Amino acid sequence: MQLRWLFIFNSHKWRISFFTVLVILIAVPLLSRQSGTARGEESNPDARIQAYFQKWKQAAQEETLDPPRRKAIYLSYIRELFALNNLSRTLLSKRWAELSPVMKDRFSDALATAIVEEILAAPAMQKLTGGSKLLLVKNKVDGLNATLDYQLTGSPEKKNIRVFLVRDARGVWNITNLKFGKKSLMRHYYKYCHDLLDDYSLPYLIAELSKSGYVVLEDFEDSTPGQLPRGWGWKKKDNEKRKPYRVEIENGNKYLAATDRGESVILGKKIKWNLKKYRYVSFRWRAHRLPEGGDERYGKTVDSAAGIYFTYKKKLGLIPVSVKFVWSTTLPVGSAMLRNGIGKPWMVVAESGADHLGEWRTYVFDLYQAYRDTFGGDPPDTAIGIGILSDANSTHSFAYADYDDIRALKTAQADSGVKKILDAE
């Protein structure tokens, strides 16, 4: 009896094993061929270029794709095919090593977007047809580097394209440069990046490359929770004071929390952007506690739960010229005032009172017009910095607010925020 059951059990096991083996015998060669093809494309520079050219051409001719979706597909190809980290490191030179991982990713993503736009702008690429082909004219492979010369045919005009590639540690070939005729893509971007960085900060360059329409002046995403924000400083007179600011995280989003019990420390960040081109600013904040009796007109009560400075310039290289948007305890929204003293900012009330405590509130203002409505005349073409201050030292009370997403915008429906000028001491 035991032998009979053992025989049946073993037979059943054999049927399962035989079926499994049969599937493996059929599937493995197929998978191996597919894997081998993929590896062949990656390890053969021409095969890799040809494969992505066919993908690009297919996306270009797919009528069901709307423009945003088509560009998203192109962008995925650029990220897969180009050695973006190597290119970014080359373009930014010494600056690259100083960047946080977040800023490195942002620059590389912006560069990928710019490369897509540059390729799409090439006349030959705008006229791709089903008959368009990349004919390999010359193939030079030297160790980890390769240079491939192609002729693009099937379009109204033939175009010579040179592709430079490097092989990574996995044996995959990635593009390091393209030349359309005599135009070098990387030479163009090297000059473009260095020219902009001579006058502006990296976030401005990222905005221009990505054509996002806004400059991220600060969103605290490259800072460490529980610490002061990366890239910010304070005045020497505040060196010994407690800095009442910490980066916090909520639902995966980082922001700056300020809890002032009388320290009154201004945090500042140097950042340059083209104010004529990005004349609007937006930001959001959330107040939790207002300083009791705060009234920005007078020295004894000049405390605000939240305040964001935008600095246009420094007179004599020392004295800041700024507009400061505040969340006031008592003054009405739209009030603007300038207290006596060298380097005092014009203060504009963006929010007032306790009705919206605990809520994230977003604001957009015309910063260019704010200068006209306060200081008078036109501001400089380049803004030079931002600042943050929550303070309660004058009222001997407590101020608590959060800050996030400070941006400069190209376009917006907004005014300066200045509605009425108030006298101040």
From first to last of the 425 residues of the chain, give the pLDDT tens digit.
443 433 333 444 333 443 333 333 334 333 334 444 445 566 799 999 999 999 999 999 899 999 999 999 999 999 999 999 999 999 999 999 999 999 999 999 999 999 999 988 877 777 777 788 999 999 999 999 999 999 998 766 678 999 999 999 999 999 999 998 889 999 999 999 999 999 999 999 999 999 999 999 999 999 999 999 999 999 999 999 999 999 999 999 999 999 999 999 999 999 999 999 999 999 999 999 999 999 999 999 999 999 999 999 999 999 999 999 999 999 999 999 999 999 999 999 999 999 999 999 999 999 999 999 999 999 999 999 999 999 999 999 999 999 999 999 999 999 999 999 999 99
Residue among 346, 345, 307, 311 at smallest CA distance from 328: 307
Task: Look at residue 37 and tell me if it is in a domain.
Answer: no
With a CB cutoff of 8 Å and minimum separation 6, the contacts of 81 are 48, 52, 174, 175
Cβ atoms of residues 294 and 395 within 8 Å:
yes
pTM above 0.85?
yes
Q: Does 219 fall in a domain? A: yes
170 and 249 in a single domain? The answer is: no
- Domain end, chosen from 208, 242, 272, is at 208
pLDDT digits (tens, 9 = 90+) for 116-149: 999 888 777 777 777 889 999 999 999 999 999 9
Same domain, 144 and 220: no
Domain boundary among 208, 227, 262: 208
How do residues 168-219 score in pLDDT, each as one tens digit?
Answer: 999 999 999 999 888 999 999 999 999 999 999 999 999 999 999 999 999 9
* CATH number of domain containing 287: 2.60.120.260
Report the pLDDT value the prediction gives residue 14, as an integer from 0 to 100. Answer: 36
The answer on 233 and 181 residing in a single domain is no
Residues 272 and 372 placed together within one structural domain of the fold:
yes
**Assigned domain for 383 exists:** yes
Q: Are residues 96 and 149 in the same domain?
A: yes
The reply to whether 196 falls in a domain is yes
- Give the residue from 246, 215, 424, 249 showing the smallest Cα distance to 335: 424
In this structure, the answer to whether residues 316 and 338 fall within a common structural domain is yes
Instruction: Tell whether 186 is covered by a domain.
Output: yes
Residue 98 lies in a domain: yes
Mean pLDDT for all residues in the chain: 90
Domain encompassing residue 310: 214-421
- Are residues 149 and 228 both part of a single domain? no
Say which residues have a Cβ less than 8 Å from residue 253's Cβ, sequence separation at least 6.
404
